[in-house]
A and B are shown apart, each in its own frame.
Chain A
Amino acid sequence: MSTDKTFLALADFLIPAHGDMPAFGSVCTFADAEKALDFRVDLKEGFDRGLDADPALSAEAHLEKLNKEDGGAFSAVTTIAICTYYMNPRVRELLGYPGQESVRYDSKATQIYLTDGSLGHVLARGRKYRPTPGL
């Protein structure tokens, strides 16, 4: 099996369709995974090892073998799969994740804990600290 097919088979086992969420291969390509790998060249060696699969093994059996015998390769394949998936715009849209966004706020706005009484309860419970002895 070619490298890209091997990876997609592993990625689809790791990230199948479930509920509203698509399988890896429905929204991501091997080229996407290669782009992700460009951000993490430290994983490249393990990734290549992880895709050197015995064609007789199922995706699950291959991952099981990697997890037991080559943690570095298992980590590289799974990290690239999951990060590629959650970088995908369609997946983010389905999750409702805009990314680490910039949020505007009014720094001088009165915070709700000052008006709903909750911080007042903390104050009402009184002093917590032990003062310096002798003062």
Chain B
Amino acid sequence: MNVESLSERGTRARRDEEVDVVIVGAGPSGSVAALHLARAGLSVVALEQGEWPEYNDYTGARPEHELVSTKLWHPNPNVRDNPNDYPVDTSTTDINPLMFAGVGGSATLYGAQWMHFLPSDFRVRSLDGVAEDWPFSYEDLLPYQLEIEREVGVSGLAGDPAFPPRGPYPFPALPIGSVGLRGALGMERMGWHWWPGSNAIPSEKFGELNACVRRGTCLTGCPEGAKSTTDRSHWPLALKAGARLVTRARVKEVETNEQGLATGVVYVDANGRDRRQRAKVVILCANGVGTPRLLLMSGGAKSPDGLANSSGMVGKRLMMHPFASILASYEDPLDSWRGPFGQQVYSLEFYETDERRGFVRGSKWNCMPSGGPVGVSGATGSKVYVAEEGRFQDFWGANLHENVARRFGHSLIWGIVGEDLPEEENQVVLSKNLVDSDGLPAPQIVYKVNENSNRLLKFNIDRCLESVRAAGAIETLVSTPVRESGWHLIGTTVMGDDPKRSVVDQWGACHDVPNLYIMDASTFPTSGATNPTATIMAVALRNTRRMIAERRNQKVA
């Protein structure tokens, strides 16, 4: 079966057919659940509000790339303005949530940085006295992490002393290029940790994935089909195993019976008609904004505060990883348009808590190229780059040429991902003013960057400036906190043992509705400071395996 022909396969279940499992969302977690449940012989239907990716629409190899990608492939759904996405009310947030609706999910536009959480991430209460420990440990999750790496086709180099010992990655690390070498040089001169980047991008052909050619357009869709997204890594296998996938299916409600058990979902199909998909088990994989939104839209008169929300925690504790970036320019050419674009090297030097720094928990840095001339000019739509007291002329005229000459091909970017602590005030609620293209209420984000994060970012920016200058930077530009940086949507249906303080148990089952599961990053008690997709997929696999093993004991309607 060819990946290009998958969208032509028959998909929808028969009218009134009850399937074993309906999955909401075909991104990283939903794809893992679909593949493994179907292989175990369960009947599975996945509902995805977006469509299959059209690889010809990825413009990375064409001259118009920088012009087109800032709209068509912008990670903010409000900018992209695609009817398959839902809009987000961002009037009350410091950081905009970023996401993409489609088969493969938001990973369609991710940088494919593949990082495990560290042991301390699962024990933040025990080690640092903040938030809560996870119900399971790094060691509990590691076998699933390694299995997922083999399914995804990760490239990397084992032996990083920032992690416990582990076996080799499936593929050798991608070349780190001049950008990575310069980033590493700065860290080396400071005596700090760095390591070649691990990425969900195979360096050799793997299944439906082609070998990376360092095109450098990972964040706007990979035209090579080399960046691992589940439309290529998982769905071909899931469909072969019998799973069915319905695209342009926007779920509007999880239905329950008198006993409070889930009976299926109602969705709006591509023609705008309401349809019902009955199921013994419902799994939500709609991300840290979409999942609480759906629960808050469900429940009806029986649960006016939303389904599975007796704890009152649905939507609360939103974490988005406050992010800063530092662009550093050098005299030497760095070919800094070449990929991979997510991380050529990373550093975990400041990952662990050191209270002398004035904050708890820490950060992960990733070194990436700076891209094409339009991006590095700082001038695109320059209204947004001009401070109130600034002048647009600073970005244009001779300044434009000089900025581009200094930065283009000669610069790198360090991204600083800060751990975000859970706070109940940071949350997803339903907007009273904004609706999606089907008239359903949009999510509203209520979010403030907290004092711990502000201190964390300031400390890390100062250290990063030391590092890039040690490597000879002739110019540095700092952006903090970056408003368009809410890639990692975490924590809004927290897992835990106490039904009064959490929404799901450690296996993703809702305390209130035992045949309703959540398998995306909504359930994470804390955010860590690494990119979460590896952990999202590993936790989904752990939950799915448990569901398969316990299926005869599963309570159903």
Interfacial residues, chain A to chain B (CB-CB below 8 A): 13-16, 18-19, 21, 36, 39-40, 42, 60, 63-64, 67, 71, 74-75, 78-79, 82-83, 86-87, 95-97, 99-105, 107-109, 111-113, 118-119, 121-123, 125-133, 135
Contacts and interface: CB of A to CB of B under 8 A. Distances in A.
Contact of B214 (A86, A103, A113, A128): A103
Contacts of A107: 155, 171-172, 174, 203-204, 211
A13 B408 contact: no
Interface string B345-371: 000110110000000000000000000
B216 A100 contact: yes
B172 A108 contact: yes
Contacts of A119: 195-196
Interface string B159-193: 10111100000011111100001001100100101
Given A40-B71, A78-B379, A132 B123 contact: yes
9 contacts: A67-B386, A75-B381, A87-B64, A97-B373, A101-B338, A107-B211, A111-B175, A130-B120, A132-B138
Interface string B209-236: 0010111110000001000000000000
A96 B396 CA distance: 21
A128 B349 contact: yes
Nearest to B345: A113
Contact of A130 (B71, B119, B397): B119
Interface of B: 60-68, 70-71, 81, 118-120, 122-123, 126-127, 137-139, 155, 159, 161-164, 171-176, 181, 184-185, 188, 191, 193-196, 203-204, 211, 213-217, 224, 337-338, 348-349, 351-352, 372-374, 377, 379-384, 386, 392-393, 396-398, 400-402, 404-405, 408-409
A113 B161 contact: no
B351 A128 contact: yes
A111 B386 CA distance: 42
B378 to A, nearest CB: 11
B161 to A, nearest CB: 5
User: Chain B interface secondary structure, helix, strand, loop or mixed?
Assistant: loop
Nearest to B402: A18
A55 B251 CA distance: 54
Question: For A16, A99, A128, which residue has the most chain B Cβ atoms within 10 angstroms?
Answer: A128
Nearest to B185: A118
A98 to B, nearest CB: 8
B192 to A, nearest CB: 8
A131 B164 contact: yes
B364 to A, nearest CB: 12
Contact of B61 (A74, A95, A102): A102
Nearest to B375: A86
B71 A113 contact: no
Contacts of A97: 337, 372-373, 408-409
Q: Which 6 A-B pairs have the closest CB atoms?
A: A75-B381, A83-B67, A107-B203, A128-B162, A18-B401, A102-B213
